[in-house]
Copies of this chain bind each other. A is one copy, B any other.
Amino acid sequence: MNSAVVLLTVFGLSLRLSLAVQVGLSHKVLVFPYETDFSFVALVPQKELELRAFTLCMRVATELPEERQIILFAYRTADYDELNVWREKDGRVSFYMRGDGVFFHLPPLTTFRTSLCLTWDSHTGLSAFWVEGKRSTYQVYKPGHTIRPKGSILLGQDPDKHLGDLEAIQSFVGEMTDLNMWDFVLSKSAIHAWNNGHQGPKGNIFDWATIEYELHGNVMVVEDD
């Protein structure tokens, strides 16, 4: 339960909430039904996010209008956004590691589920999104960079400059499922396997089937039908 203690440190507001780490979301979907500034899911990683490469995959669906900014994944240490993934106001999908981000033109997120992966490798800086198993054009982003460990990982909200300062207008509304993360770049065939729901390498940072998570505010866990 160390991770729960870390979270307490980072989000002052969490002190008022019951922190119950739950385990495993196999065949489950997270439903964020309303726009709020208090609903989120904190994730406890299997290992620290000291990363020089990663693959992050999730399935995501939203009814939010196209011009609305949406946080898709937020990993923050004390003073920095270490790894944030956004759907931007202009519809592009982006990610940021400590400072300026990189932007991709992908098919729009819709009310139907989109399978989305993101890969990045510090050695080359090559980064790409994968939509339904199809890779976007590579972009070179922050070669040589390292993601720092010992932060907090949230779904549904972006913890802003002031920790715990959450904004409804950036919140996620919709469904997320099948989030997995690896500390290396998956091969194309492994991403295809994940996309098709076949057995591939299990996420060694997050594995949806055994993921440790805490629900805060109004988030529903629904059987995936």
Contact = CB atoms under 8 A, between A and B. Distances in A.
Interface of A: 29, 31, 33-34, 61-63, 65, 103-106, 110-113, 124-126, 129, 131, 134-140, 174-175, 187-188, 220, 222, 225
Contacts of A129: 111
Nearest to A186: B225
Contacts of A126: 31, 220, 222
A225 B138 CA distance: 11
Contacts of A103: 63
25 contacts: A29-B138, A31-B126, A61-B136, A61-B137, A62-B137, A63-B103, A63-B105, A63-B139, A65-B105, A104-B111, A111-B129, A111-B137, A112-B131, A112-B135, A112-B136, A112-B137, A124-B220, A126-B220, A126-B222, A137-B174, A137-B175, A138-B175, A140-B220, A187-B225, A188-B225
A136 B124 contact: no
A36 B62 CA distance: 36
Contacts of A136: 61, 63, 111-112
Contacts of A62: 137
Nearest to A138: B31
A112 B138 contact: no
Contacts of A174: 137
A103 B111 CA distance: 11
A125 B105 CA distance: 35
A180 to B, nearest CB: 18
Contacts of A34: 140
Contact of A63 (B110, B112, B131, B137): B137
